[in-house]
């Protein structure tokens, strides 16, 4: 499952710890991320040179293309080519995983920047796998023209509930994301967000970005698709990817962004829906950049400050009243009478008893 950070923070931390340890460590960690990605890191004291990293990630499935649980050969070659000598993909991988890497941590340089970069690249192996799959599909699949100017869409799925479509045309590739939300409030917030996205996309500053369109009804490219794929409550978001967006290093960024569309939308919608809850670390940047709006509470605080004083005063008054009610009524000379006639007998606590014979 894709997310913003290409690098897995937990995996990076574990590998950094193993790399910086003065003595060999016994490490056997299982890390689960995003519900479907699973890492297994193993480093043994008996074999201190090598660390074994196994990765299990949901593989991309699509209609019309063979689905395999094993990674294709070119993907393994790509992984081996990232850091030859440091990272090697084992064939076959460990049971239950798609990829097992043998890492020679000792070959990672000891100095700060280079080692951090290398460890980060190793910890982003899952995102590299996922991006490579999509790139291969986009590269190998030919555009399927079914009519004059009409091309058949390819349905891709990472998560069963979040499929998206890719329509390959000669001049461009269109990625279409059907949006579905569980709650009506999410739909309303997301609709406002999509309007903003279209506005920003059509501005001068972003004329080089892919053309972005949102429509509440299925676009023409999806004509003929099954009704269950076209029934949504959040509309359809489309991006037109041209040659400019897939040249050189931009291909990686474009593919990664397409994989993260649903996550970006949820990133905006969910915190607004849960107003009042603590926001997670992902929203730190937005919080820094957004002008501090007190969330409508500027006047609320003013109103509450005025009332709080009165509440405290009232509580104090109530307390004094209750004390007065509880205290005994004082009658003149009653105390002497009470001492003489109303003396309560003293009961000594039973500490011993006599045994009856």
Partner 1 sequence: MANSLRLYLTCIRNTLEAALCLQNFPCQEVERHNKPEVELKTSPELLLNPVLICRNEAEKCLIETSINSLRISLKVKQADELENILTKKFLRFLSMRAEAFQVLRRKPVQGYDISFLITNYHCEDMQKQKLIEFIVQFMEDIDKEISELKLSVNTRGRLVATEFLKQFI
How many residues at the interface with partner 1, by CB under 8 A?
47
Choice from 41, 103, 189, 259 touching partner 1 (CB under 8 A): 189
**169 or 257: whose CB is closer to partner 1?**
257
Q: How far is the CB of 304 from partner 1 (least distance, A)?
A: 5
Choice from 91, 114, 200, 318 touching partner 1 (CB under 8 A): 200
**51 or 173: whose CB is closer to partner 1?**
173
Choice from 49, 304, 316, 337 touching partner 1 (CB under 8 A): 304
Contact stretch for partner 1 (CB under 8 A) within 13-21, 77-85, 152-160, 286-294: 286-294
Is 296 a residue that touches partner 1 (CB under 8 A)?
Answer: yes
Is 276 a residue that touches partner 1 (CB under 8 A)?
Answer: yes
Contact stretch for partner 1 (CB under 8 A) within 22-30, 91-99, 208-216, 224-232: 208-216
Q: How far is the CB of 48 from partner 1 (least distance, A)?
A: 40
Strands 173-178 and 211-215: unpaired
The answer to whether the CB of 117 falls within 8 A of the CB of 96 is: no
The answer to whether the CB of 279 falls within 8 A of the CB of 295 is: no
The answer to whether the CB of 42 falls within 8 A of the CB of 28 is: yes
Is 199 a residue that touches partner 1 (CB under 8 A)?
Answer: yes
Helical (H) or strand (E) element with 321: helix 298-326
Is 346 a residue that touches partner 1 (CB under 8 A)?
Answer: no
Question: Exposed/middle/buried for 40, CB within 10 Å: 0-12, 13-18, 19+?
Answer: middle
Is 264 a residue that touches partner 1 (CB under 8 A)?
Answer: yes
CA-nearest of 145, 154, 89, 167 to 122 is 89
Contact stretch for partner 1 (CB under 8 A) within 60-68, 158-166, 205-213, 227-235: 205-213
Please, how many CA atoms are within 13 Å of residue 137, restricted to the half-sphere of its CB? Answer: 26
List the x/- string, 125-164, binding to partner 1 by CB under 8 A.
----------------------------------------
Task: Return the axis-axis angle of helices 9-20 and 112-123, rounded to nearest 10°.
Answer: 130
Contact stretch for partner 1 (CB under 8 A) within 12-20, 63-71, 73-81, 245-253: 245-253
Q: How far is the CB of 70 from partner 1 (least distance, A)?
A: 31
Question: Exposed/middle/buried for 64, CB within 10 Å: 0-12, 13-18, 19+?
Answer: exposed
User: ω into residue 92 within 30 of 0, thus cis?
Assistant: yes
Rg of the chain in Å (alpha carbons): 34
**311 or 316: whose CB is closer to partner 1?**
311
Q: Return d(Cα 9, Cα 5) in angstroms, integer.
A: 8
Q: Return d(Cα 214, Cα 234) in angstroms, integer.
A: 10
H-assigned helices in 91-235: 112-123, 125-140, 184-201, 227-230
Q: Return d(Cα 234, Cα 268) in angstroms, integer.
A: 14
List contacts with partner 1 (CB under 8 A): 185, 188-189, 192-193, 196-197, 199-201, 206, 208-210, 212, 245, 250, 253-254, 256-257, 261, 264, 267-268, 272, 275-276, 285-286, 289-291, 293, 295-296, 298-300, 303-304, 306-308, 310-311, 314
């Amino acid at each position: 499952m894709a997310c913003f950070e290409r690098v897995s923070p937990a995996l990076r931390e574990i590998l950094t710890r193993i790399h910086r340890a003065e003595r060999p460590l016994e490490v056997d960690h299982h890390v689960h991320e995003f519900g479907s990605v699973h890492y297994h890191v193993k480093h043994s004291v008996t074999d201190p040179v090598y660390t074994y990293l196994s990765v299990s990630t949901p593989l991309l499935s699509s209609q019309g293309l063979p689905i395999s649980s094993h990674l294709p050969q070119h993907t393994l070659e790509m992984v081996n080519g990232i850091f030859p000598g440091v990272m090697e993909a084992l064939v076959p991988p460990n049971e239950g995983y798609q990829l097992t890497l043998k890492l020679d941590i000792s070959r990672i340089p000891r100095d700060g920047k280079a080692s951090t970069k290398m460890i980060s690249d190793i910890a982003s192996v899952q995102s590299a796998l996922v991006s490579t799959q999509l790139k291969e599909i986009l590269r190998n699949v030919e555009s399927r023209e079914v009519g004059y100017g009409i091309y058949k869409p390819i349905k891709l799925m990472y998560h069963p509930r979040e499929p998206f479509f890719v329509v390959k045309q000669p001049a461009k590739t269109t990625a279409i994301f059907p949006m579905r939300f569980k709650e009506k409030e999410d739909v309303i917030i997301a609709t406002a967000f999509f309007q903003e996205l279209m506005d920003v996309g059509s501005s001068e500053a972003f004329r080089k970005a892919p053309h972005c369109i949102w429509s509440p009804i299925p676009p023409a490219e999806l004509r003929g698709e099954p009704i269950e794929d076209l029934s949504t409550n959040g509309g359809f978001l489309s991006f037109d990817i041209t040659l400019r967006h897939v040249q050189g290093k931009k291909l990686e960024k474009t593919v990664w962004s397409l994989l993260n569309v649903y996550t970006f939308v949820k990133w905006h919608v969910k915190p607004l829906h849960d107003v009042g809850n603590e926001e997670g670390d992902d929203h730190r940047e937005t919080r820094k950049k957004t002008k501090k709006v007190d969330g409508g509470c500027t006047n609320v605080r003013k109103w509450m400050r005025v009332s709080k004083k009165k509440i405290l005063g009232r509580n104090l008054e109530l307390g004094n009243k209750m004390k007065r009610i509880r205290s005994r009524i004082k009658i003149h000379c009653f105390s002497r009478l009470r001492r003489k006639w109303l003396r309560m007998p003293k009961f000594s606590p039973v500490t011993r008893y006599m045994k009856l014979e």
